[in-house]
A and B are shown apart, each in its own frame.
Chain A
């Protein structure tokens, strides 16, 4: 019996040690991003005695990052060099003229617009597939389903040609529109909306609700948790897009990944500046993750659903 309890203790100790080691290894790079952003380059890039605690150079590094000519990482007030140009919607954004958008704002803006647009399109399409009968419903659905297995971020060559012909190069629509009808989103919304009882819709119809009211007054409110999970999937998808923005966006419109790529590919790589950029682009999403952990987890699990 005592032999057994001792073995149990050893086992528990090993398990804790393993988890702790994993947690430490996970946190070290994160800690290091933060610490390096607050130090001078010579303080942390040293094989003999790097400083491991935070310093006070964050603002100095931030200012030198902002002074870079080819990359505007965070926006600033000043003479307009870069504004949000969403084609026909340009005029609506004209009042932003005072604020020069940087890569951070661009990324948040693009991912936000993408998420909202895609949520609307996917849930409308999902609603149509789940609750209506129409000709060619099955073939259309299976065509969309089939693209689920394709790496859709890789279809950039025709997209590049298409965007050139549509005059959308260096325009944020070029990175929003191609994935707005997200196949995974349509599939998820269709699966979830099938659980809405037909009788509920039918009785609302009897009360004189229009079909669109059925959608946004009855269907959407019951889908809150699915919509939350899907919006995390969509936001992170756009947030991490690198290949096509790299191809289609020019200086002044960079999103975070492209801006960081410019910093890394420069003649002289300033790690302190890059770490400020990395801190600014990683930490906000971490905070979001801590608050919306449940939605993140259900987003990951929703993304791994199988038919």
Chain B
């Protein structure tokens, strides 16, 4: 009896042998219960994804056609077992207004101001930062540079700075009596009203964002540079190309997909700008000249409590960002081909 048991224990069952045989000829066979196991592994993430990401995506769109009139109080479901009771209420008290929220945007001057400010910062900041990141990456990639690791570390340090905390330093340095104006006046230049003039306050944001993100983009570009085949440079050298020509005709074209990626992600980042204007400019000062789109959405939603209109604004922003992301993904696909 015992021998038999131990024998059958070690001997693979017919099913296992069959599976093994099928596998050895390269056929993949689902393990028993595999379908359910897959769902079980996925379940926790899927639940949270459904409740906190998929639902909000749909519900923001839904909300954008309504006027918000208060947090919901209508009972949708009420279970009372005596031991515990559970009441599911509607999410919000809403009134359908169709496309009114979207139409209202056309005559909303503060929204136009926010769009203008964001675009202004974008147009100045993104090219400046990408150019700087590219130059630093190329410089650090040059074969003669020593202490490369140290310089790379230093330039990448801002990556770890908390977005809100670093903004306070710019708030401090850019004061009328701050460090930057002290440096300017001591070398004989006039002091600049960094936080009180509408042009210069935008420039302050440009400077802050550039400081925070140049190193980040430099790291991505450095990785891209390392993927350029060395033979291309050698071939260019044989043809007598100068440094600038090599940069212009080898580096930039080879790096094009990575550069586009950096451009698009930086553009998306600028559309999402929130911490910097809130901290450095106290929410849009002077005279709303630095208010950004996200900040305007925040004010509309959580200070004025116009959640419907804020949802419509969010969807416009999401639309813009998604189009940009789609471009980015396409660019990425191109680079693989």
- A interface residues (Cβ-Cβ under 8 A, vs B): 11-12, 15-16, 18-19, 22-23, 25-30, 32-33, 36, 44-48, 50, 121-122, 124-125, 127-129, 132-135, 137, 140, 143-144, 147-162, 164-165, 177-181, 183, 186, 198, 202, 205-206, 211, 215, 236, 239-240, 242-243, 246-247, 256-257, 260-261, 264-265, 271, 274-275, 277-278, 281-282, 285-286, 288-290, 293, 296-297, 300-301, 304, 306-307
B96 within 8 A of A: no
Check A306–B333 contact: CB distance below 8 A.
Answer: yes
Check B155–A22 contact: CB distance below 8 A.
Answer: yes
Q: Which residue of B lies closest to A292 (CB)?
A: B160
Check B173–A134 contact: CB distance below 8 A.
Answer: no
State the Cβ distance, B71 to closest chain A Cβ, in Å. 6
Of A45, A278, A304, the contact of B165 (CB 8 Å cutoff): A278
B interface bracket (residues with beta carbon within 8 Å of A) = 35 or more
Binding site secondary structure of chain B: helix
Chain B residues near A290 (CB, 8 Å)? 153
Chain A residues near B282 (CB, 8 Å)? 264-265
Known: A140-B46, A158-B63, A297-B219. A261 touches B278 (CB 8 A): yes
Check A157–B310 contact: CB distance below 8 A.
Answer: yes
Bound Cα distance A213, B155 (Å): 43
Check A285–B161 contact: CB distance below 8 A.
Answer: yes
B228 within 8 A of A: no
Q: Which residue of A lies closest to B47 (CB)?
A: A181
Check A256–B135 contact: CB distance below 8 A.
Answer: no
Check A281–B162 contact: CB distance below 8 A.
Answer: yes
Check A147–B53 contact: CB distance below 8 A.
Answer: yes
Chain B residues near A22 (CB, 8 Å)? 132, 136, 155, 214
Residue from the set B153, B169, B175, B220 with the largest chain A CB neighbour count within 10 Å? B169
Of B60, B139, B328, the contact of A15 (CB 8 Å cutoff): B139
Known: A26-B157, A128-B41, A154-B318. A32 touches B173 (CB 8 A): yes
Check A46–B326 contact: CB distance below 8 A.
Answer: no
Chain A residues near B236 (CB, 8 Å)? none
Check B44–A19 contact: CB distance below 8 A.
Answer: no
Chain B residues near A27 (CB, 8 Å)? 154, 157
Check B41–A124 contact: CB distance below 8 A.
Answer: yes
Task: Jot down 8 A-B pairs with beta carbons below 8 A, ordered by A.
Answer: A47-B178, A132-B35, A162-B91, A177-B48, A256-B162, A257-B162, A301-B223, A304-B261
For chains A and B in complex, what number of residue pairs have CB atoms within 8 angstroms?
308
B18 within 8 A of A: no
Of A44, A154, A206, the contact of B294 (CB 8 Å cutoff): A154
Check A306–B336 contact: CB distance below 8 A.
Answer: yes
Bound Cα distance A260, B34 (Å): 50
Q: Which residue of A lies closest to B323 (CB)?
A: A149
Check A46–B39 contact: CB distance below 8 A.
Answer: no
B158 within 8 A of A: yes
Check B23–A154 contact: CB distance below 8 A.
Answer: no
Check A133–B35 contact: CB distance below 8 A.
Answer: yes
Bound Cα distance A237, B231 (Å): 39
Check B169–A278 contact: CB distance below 8 A.
Answer: yes
Chain A residues near B220 (CB, 8 Å)? 300-301, 304
Known: A156-B301, A181-B49. 6 other contacts (CB 8 A): A23-B151, A26-B155, A44-B172, A281-B165, A304-B265, A307-B336
Check B53–A152 contact: CB distance below 8 A.
Answer: yes
Bound Cα distance A18, B288 (Å): 36
Q: Which of B101-109, B122-130, B268-276 interfaces with chain A?
A: B268-276
Check A46–B177 contact: CB distance below 8 A.
Answer: yes
Known: A32-B173, A133-B38, A162-B52. A150 touches B57 (CB 8 A): yes
